[in-house]
Amino acid sequence: MTPAARLVALVTATALAGAGAPAHAQKDKGPPIVRDAEIEQLLREYTQPILHTAGLAKQNVQVIIINDRSFNAFVADGRRIFVNGGALMESETPNQIIGVLAHETGHIAGGHLARMREAIASATTQSVIAMLLGAGALVAAGRSGADLGQAGAAAIAGPTMAIQNTMIGYMRAQEEQADRAALKFLTATGQSPKGMYETFKRMADQVLYQVRYINPYLQTHPLPSERVAALEGMAKSSPYWDHKDSPALQARHDLMRAKLYGFIERPDGVARRYPPSDTSLAARYARAISAYRFSDPRVALGQIEALIQAQPQNPYFYELKGQALLEAGKPAEAIAPLRHAAQLAPNPALIQIMLGQALVATHNRAYVDEAIPLLQAAVLREPDSPDAYGQLAMAYGQKNDLAHADLASAQAAFMRGDIKTAREIATRAKTRFAVGSPGWVKADDLASLKLPQNALRR
């Protein structure tokens, strides 16, 4: 994988586009997602107070970042909020993206997805009945010798259009309910709804011309002007309307945006966004990432060292240094900064996977012995990561533990969605384990596919 294809915490995976869809599904894959320890930690801190207030703290709701430059966020089930990288990059303050996350939390708390599925199921039944009635009208018209064109088409399309309008009206009502719920959550957590209003106002201004001539009943959301006007009235009544994000939180938000620009944009785009005249830490972060991706690694390492000197307790600067060294073919040198990053980071699983990769890449027996328990611990926190299983397989292979190497390889293939390979390798792994042993049981699960991913015996 090239540096341009991934963020600092490694791992590019497949988004779960539909409710209950397995991450490893080989067909009907959703959009690509990005994993990054720094960004995920920040979004976790953004959402936790809101989820707690919404009564969802125990539901393990996660924010999934989609590698897409457009501004969008949505929910697909009761456990995941999807947000595009573009939404993070365009949000100028933490409060703006927090407002969006609060709105999506409103959908989850309101049970809108379950209700929508019921409504869709009901509408589908009605559509079938309407279609049958329309077909009956066509048959009757044919038997009488009447024109089969407009009359039959209207008989079929009329009820279907009415059902569609009903469904769209239902979706608009859910959006309004989510707005109100978001305002309630923000007020309860002492946060301003101003960012949420600013975000939807900006979006409304962008699409105003586009929707001017569209039937308002065919909109899945309320018309922007109506929605923004209602939101403005409610938001300005909040006692926290003028409350601002703390400077420390704003600084972390700026670093998150800079990281995304550094990894996603080409050097000329980064230079326009963060010119050399901008000496802020965020700008230097973006330029260091861009230099690591496209310039002389020595230049990039010098810039990263300057970042570390500016914030010696920032784990993600050490992580960036480790990744730059690892991808420059210097895994032994990458170990120290990655170790330090893992020690400093509050949720280091993704960093530990990269550290395990560096340890394994040295082909040093002592380092491999260190990598195995490290990767095993990371797998417990990131059970869907094919990268962690792949590195674990290589570590076992270097120790000539072929049974566990095959099992880890099968698990990696399974997480990638390569079911055929997973079954083949797992079948071979079974022959290497004693019948009934834990390794044999895991291999049997994969070889026979008796259980879904989240029910595999560990």
Among 48-57, 106-115, 302-311, whose mean pLDDT is lowest?
Answer: 106-115
Band (pLDDT 50/70/90 cuts) for residue 16 is very low
271 within domain boundaries? no
Q: Residues 32-50: pLDDT tens digits? A: 888 999 999 999 999 999 9
- What pLDDT sits at residue 419? 92
387 within domain boundaries? no
- As a whole number, mean pLDDT of residues 438-443 equals 96
> How many domains does the structure of the chain reveal?
1
In eight-state DSSP terms, residue 7 is B
- As a whole number of angstroms, the distance between CA 304 and CA 128 comes to 62
Average pLDDT over all residues of the chain: 82
Taking a C-beta distance cutoff of 8 angstroms, is the pair 258, 7 a contact? no
Q: For residue 5, is pLDDT > 60?
A: no
- What pLDDT sits at residue 17? 27
Taking a C-beta distance cutoff of 8 angstroms, is the pair 412, 402 a contact? no
406 within domain boundaries? no
400 within domain boundaries? no
Q: Which residue is associated with the tokens 């989850």?
A: 108
- As a whole number of angstroms, the distance between CA 6 and CA 33 comes to 10
432 within domain boundaries? no
- SS3 state at 66: strand
Backbone angles phi, psi at 32, to 5 degrees: -70, 140
Range of the structural domain that residue 233 is part of: 1-91+94-244
In sequence order, what are the residues at sequence separation of 6 or more whose Cβ sits closer than 8 angstroms to the Cβ of residue 282?
251, 254, 255, 257, 258, 274
439 within domain boundaries? no
176 within domain boundaries? yes
72 within domain boundaries? yes
